[in-house]
Amino acid sequence: MTETVFITGATGFLGSYVLDLYLRETSAKLLVLTRAKSRADGLEKLWKALQLHMSAETFWELEGRMEIVSGDLASPKLGMDDATWHRVATESESILHIAASLNRKSEKACLNHNLKGTLSMIQLARAAQDHHGLRRFANVSTTAIAGKRWSETLREDEALDWDRSDYDPYARTKKFCEHMVAELLPDVPTTIFRPSTVMGDSRHPRTTQFEMVQAFNTVFDLPAFPIRPTARVDIVNADWVGRAMFEIFRDDAKAKHGIYHLSAGEASPVAKDIAQAMAGAGRRPPVMVPGLLGATQTAFDLIAGLPQRNALTYIGSLFKVFLPYITFDTVFVNERASEAIGRKPVSFLEYGPAFAEWCREQKYRFDYAPLPERPARVNVGGEISA
Ligand SMILES: NC(=O)c1ccc[n+]([C@@H]2O[C@H](COP(=O)([O-])OP(=O)(O)OC[C@H]3O[C@@H](n4cnc5c(N)ncnc54)[C@H](OP(=O)(O)O)[C@@H]3O)[C@@H](O)[C@H]2O)c1
């Protein structure tokens, strides 16, 4: 089946995993929303995202399957002119909405990109449904919608609880996005994907996303850290998350449920083992002092709020944002997704040491290769074309 799929967030870290699978394993046509202003910028962005997965030669072979749609979630009608919006709505047979702002500190970014953006995506989905019927609308959410928790193991239907406070605007807006999808598209087959903390690829140590691993490495380089040694941390490998999103979204026979946790679940590693795995040769993991959690959180909140910007306030902000997610000892059962795709995530303890070391060596930066000129003759699906 050659389907036309409208996809957002494909130029991002997780989106690149799904896009790669779509390009290699299907013949679907992909309408790719990006804030790139021109086709050339869009191609650069796609290449930046896809070079983690493929050579430039393969990129040019597959490029014709991707149509760049310039737009912006935060703008009316997704930043498209009327004709483009109408065409995307009438051509899209399924919609995979991955894009979001992950800026946990900014109410404004989360409100505009996540809440307003998802509402605009739902409006487009509504038009597509009324025009020809949508096979599926999927929305990538996060396990952060579970709000403030302490030492829990949550299944999909237990995680969203309106009586709980949220850690940040990111979690709050993503929670309401789930609600909008359920309320406004009752007649469309919908899927909600909730990844937990996605870190690294189990097949190789390379990544293009460094925020979380830098936070973990910083934390576990300290002499002491306020966490229970046996606290579980739900870290999941990106290759499994991408595969699960791709297979469940694409194959209706696998999409038996409305919501999927894409997480390490009950197999999540505990803090002392993660610290050991990330410590690397010659480093000592921190002494774990759970009793200091409250005081540490208060201290880092204060430091993060200081007006000056320097290494200390940077670390303060990092901790303020990520501390709850590292210390809340809450994991998300992944049986639905594991069953659907017939495999479980790989334990972080297996691939984490090489991954953490590579990220340190790279100083948390990916060495992006520029996109070479399109070759004069490209091998498209086995045929040579100019
Ligand atoms: N990474 C994780 O650990 C994790 C964990 C749980 C959930 N998630 C969820 O997974 C999804 C993807 O996360 P990620 O880590 O891959 O993010 P990412 O690397 O930061 O990528 C963000 C993507 O969103 C797009 N985007 C952002 N704002 C946009 C806007 N206003 N208009 C159009 N596109 C916009 C970006 O596209 P352009 O820049 O090309 O416009 C980019 O493709 C998000 O929904 C996130 O909440 C991620």
Pick from 14, 48, 263, 355 the residue to mutate for probing ligand 1's pocket: most ligand atoms within 8 Å of its CB. Answer: 14
User: Quick check: CB of 72 below 6 Å from ligand 1?
Assistant: yes
Contact 34, 10 (CB under 8 A): yes
Segment 289-330, tens digit of pLDDT: 888 888 888 888 888 788 888 877 877 787 788 888 888 999
Comparing CA positions, the residue from 262, 279, 108 lying closest to residue 198 is: 262
CB atoms within 10 A of CB 322: 21
The domain covering 4-200+235-266+331-346+371-381 belongs, at the CATH homologous superfamily level, to NAD(P)-binding Rossmann-like Domain (3.40.50.720)
Q: What is the 3-state secondary structure (H, E, C) of 2-34?
A: CCEEEEECCCCHHHHHHHHHHHHHCCCEEEEEE
Whole-number Å distance, alpha carbon 12 to ligand 1 midpoint, is: 5
Distance of CA 70 to the CA centre of its chain: 21
For the segment 95-110, the average pLDDT, to the nearest whole number, is 94
For the segment 139-157, the average pLDDT, to the nearest whole number, is 97
Domain spans of the chain, in order of start: 4-200+235-266+331-346+371-381
248: left (phi over 0), alpha (psi -120 to 50) or beta: alpha
Measured by CA distance, the residue closest to atom 46 of ligand 1 is 100
- Per-residue pLDDT at 1: 57
Segment 169-225, tens digit of pLDDT: 999 999 999 999 999 999 999 999 999 999 999 999 999 999 899 888 888 888 888
Comparing CA positions, the residue from 198, 142, 192, 191 lying closest to residue 167 is: 142
Specify the 3-state DSSP secondary structure of 205: coil
Segment 229-275, tens digit of pLDDT: 999 999 999 999 999 999 999 999 999 999 999 999 999 999 999 99
User: Quick check: CB of 73 below 6 Å from ligand 1?
Assistant: yes
